[in-house]
Amino acid sequence: MGRITVVGSYVVDLMSRTPQLPKPGETVLGGPFQMGPGGKGGNQATAAARSGSDVAFVTKVGDDVFGKEAIKHFEREGFNIQFVHRSKTEATGTALIAVDDQGENDIVIAPGACGTMTRSDVLKAEEEIKRSQMVMLQLEISFEAIEAAIKKAVHHQVPVLLNPAPCVDFPQEWLKYITYATPNETEALGLTGVEVTDALSAQEAADVLHEKGVKTVVITLGKQGVFLSKEAGKGAWMDGFSVKAMDTTGAGDAFNGGFAHAIGSGAPVEEAVQFGQAVAALSVTKMGTAASMPTQDEIKAFLKDHQ
Which amino acids are annotated as binding site for substrate, given as ranges? 11-13, 39-43, 140, 253
Q: Is omega for the bond preceding 268 within 30 degrees of 0, making it cis?
A: no
Question: What angle, 0 to 180 degrees and rounded to 10, lies between the N-to-C axes of helices 251-264 and 40-51?
Answer: 50
71-77 — which CB contacts under 8 Å span 24+ positions?
Answer: 73/37, 73/42, 73/46, 73/290, 77/45, 77/46, 77/49, 77/50
The CA distance from 158 to 168, in Å, is 25
Q: Could you tell me which residues are annotated as the binding site?
A: 11-13, 39-43, 140, 184, 220-225, 247, 249, 252-253, 283, 286, 288, 292
Tell me the catalytic residues: 253
Phi, psi of 288 (to 5 degrees): 100, 180
**Cβ-contact 293, 50 below 8 angstroms:** yes
Q: How far is CA 4 from CA 1, 9, 79, 241, 251, in A?
A: 10, 15, 10, 26, 19
* Residues making up the binding site for K(+): 247, 249, 283, 286, 288, 292
Give Dmax over CA atoms of the chain in angstroms.
Answer: 52
Within 8 A by CB and 6+ apart from 108, the residues are 95, 96
